[in-house]
């Protein structure tokens, strides 16, 4: 199994008495960001090495635990050994490390003890040789922790662990140049704030299906940093999305389906932004709400287009589309999805050009056919890979 060991012992450079690990970082604290990277890399247990407990640190520990990983706080190597699983491989994160998921996941895949090193000259980096400095990440066998636990307790845990790993012959992997700009050790509050929003926004998952991946996801990543910088509440983004959805429905009902569907697409984008803000901030109930709210907004817009078109043909086409779309979401687990498959946000996009051309029935039929073809592909994929 994989465990994480995060050091949180140093004070911030510009805030006396405040642990650097609890400084704000993109709507989170730095230690929560580090824990997310470890959990994404497969860590099922996280050990926090702390010098003292603070209210901010207690809150961060509680929020980390809600993500489904076991979290323990220790002060010494002896306590760490007692908490670690005896067969665990340990991903070590130095105090104040800012990095990317790609770096952490590539290190987690290493087959033996590995130190990530760099040739950068920074006072926060500890030297491990004449031409290399430790970049703050390592993958080590649990026995290295036990070796440190057997040493005098007044030794610095982090530095001693680094020396023990280096002397045991751990591989030294140099940080790739293209990953270096996103990696560093930082304990300055202002510098972390500048780096945090963009870095955390990059954690937002890239969906597979085309409409989410190539249209909505890039716009969400673009919008998140300024929203997090201004501390815009998640509820504000969701309220705006719902207001736009209501405006879209009213516009379609008043006989302007193309304009209404365009507004609906903007509402869906707002819903996606709200969902991402909720995910970043660990607002579980709001995440679950958006899981239903975004498809519901798309379904409502489609339904009103069908009602406002020639009846009963428009209503029939709308109902067929909604049934096929609902069945598709039930039959399309993430591991079976394909890039060109339909999704709830794709139907308004497919319909919009035909609505602009004044063909609501053709728009409904095209979206319904798209949903039906994707549903058939999903069923076949499920049959091939049960």
pLDDT digit string, tens, across residues 72-111: 999 999 999 999 988 899 999 999 999 988 899 999 999 8
Give CA–CA dist 126/92, Å, rounded: 14
Give CA–CA dist 265/258, Å, rounded: 11
Six token digits for residue 172:
């030294």
For the chain, the structural domain boundaries read 2-201, 210-384
**Residue 136: φ, ψ to 5°:** 95, 5
pLDDT of residue 313: 94
What's the predicted TM-score (pTM) here? 0.78
pLDDT of residue 384: 60
pLDDT of residue 333: 73
pLDDT of residue 385: 54
Six token digits for residue 22:
């609890």
Six token digits for residue 82:
């007692």
Six token digits for residue 341:
């498959």
pLDDT of residue 101: 87
Q: What residue spans of the chain are helical by DSSP H?
A: 30-40, 55-65, 77-83, 101-108, 142-149, 157-167, 189-201, 210, 217-229, 234-253, 257-280, 284-308, 313-331, 346-356, 360-384
Return the CATH number of 210-384, one of 3.40.190.100, 2.60.40.1510, 1.20.120.1760, 1.10.1040.10. 1.20.120.1760
Higher-pLDDT residue of 199 and 62 is 62
Closest-CA residue to 36 (of 230, 229, 201, 273): 201
**For the residues 228-247, what does the mean pLDDT come to?**
93
Q: What DSSP state is assigned to residue 54? A: -
Pairing status of strand 89-93 against strand 132-141: antiparallel
What CATH class has 2-201? alpha beta
pLDDT of residue 123: 72
Higher-pLDDT residue of 125 and 144 is 144
* Averaged pLDDT of the chain: 91
């Amino acid at each position: 199994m994989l465990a994480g060991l995060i050091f949180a012992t140093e004070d911030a450079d510009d805030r006396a008495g405040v642990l650097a690990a609890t400084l704000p970082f993109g709507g989170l604290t730095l230690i929560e960001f580090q824990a997310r990277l470890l959990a994404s890399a497969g860590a099922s247990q996280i050990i926090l090495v702390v010098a003292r407990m603070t209210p901010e640190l207690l809150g961060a520990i509680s929020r980390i635990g809600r993500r489904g990983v076991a979290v323990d706080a220790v002060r010494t190597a002896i306590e760490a050994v007692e908490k670690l699983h005896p067969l665990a491989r340990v991903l070590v994160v130095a105090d104040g490390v800012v990095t990317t998921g790609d770096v952490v996941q590539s290190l987690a895949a290493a087959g033996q003890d590995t130190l990530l090193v760099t040739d950068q000259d920074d006072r926060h980096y500890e030297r491990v040789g004449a031409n290399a400095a430790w970049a703050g990440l390592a993958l080590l066998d649990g026995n290295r922790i036990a070796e440190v636990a057997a040493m005098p307790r007044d030794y610095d845990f982090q530095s001693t662990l680094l020396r023990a790993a280096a002397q045991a012959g751990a591989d030294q992997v140099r940080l790739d140049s293209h990953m270096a700009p996103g990696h560093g050790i930082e304990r300055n509050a202002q510098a972390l704030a500048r780096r945090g929003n963009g870095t955390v926004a990059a954690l937002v998952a890239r969906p597979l299906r085309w409409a989410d991946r190539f249209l909505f996801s890039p716009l969400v990543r673009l919008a998140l940093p300024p929203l997090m910088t201004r501390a815009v509440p998640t509820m504000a983004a969701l309220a705006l999305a719902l207001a736009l959805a209501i405006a879209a429905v009213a516009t379609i009902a008043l006989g302007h389906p193309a304009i209404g569907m365009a507004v609906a697409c903007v509402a869906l984008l707002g819903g996606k932004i709200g969902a991402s803000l909720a995910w970043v901030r660990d607002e579980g109930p709001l995440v679950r709400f958006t899981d239903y709210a975004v498809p519901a907004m798309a379904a409502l817009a489609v339904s009103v287009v069908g009602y406002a078109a020639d009846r009963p043909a428009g209503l029939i086409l709308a109902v067929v589309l909604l049934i096929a779309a609902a069945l598709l979401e039930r039959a399309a687990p993430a591991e079976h999805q394909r890039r060109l498959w339909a999704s709830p946000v794709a139907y308004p996009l497919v319909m919009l050009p035909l609505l602009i051309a004044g063909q609501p029935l053709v728009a409904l039929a095209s979206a319904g056919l798209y949903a039906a073809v994707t549903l058939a592909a999903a069923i076949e994929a499920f049959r091939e890979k049960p």
